Amino acid sequence: MKYYAQVELKAAYNAGLIDVLDATDAAYIGDKYYTKQIYIVDRDVYEKAGYDHGKFVKIAGRPVRDKYVFAF
């Protein structure tokens, strides 16, 4: 089974997942802005995404805090 994730804009920019041009084209999900790019992630990321455990998950090889990730 494949799992997908999007990252909040500010966190994605700080992690180096997107650049300024990608930040202008954002998806609005649940009162927050997320990247338009959808990343394929592991089940571990899927289970931790959205919770504020203070842990990092790997998105495209870059560490991002779990609370900034929206997985589906």
Per-residue pLDDT of the chain in tens (72 residues, 90 and over written 9): 899 999 999 999 999 898 888 778 788 888 889 998 899 999 988 988 888 788 899 998 899 999 999 899
Q: How many CB atoms lie within 10 A of CB 5?
A: 24
Structural domains counted in the chain: 1
Q: How many CB atoms lie within 10 A of CB 62?
A: 16
pLDDT for the residue 65: 92
Distances in Å between the alpha carbon of 52 and those of 14, 18, 25, 42, 69? 18, 22, 26, 18, 10
Parent domain of 37:
3-71
pTM of the model: 0.83
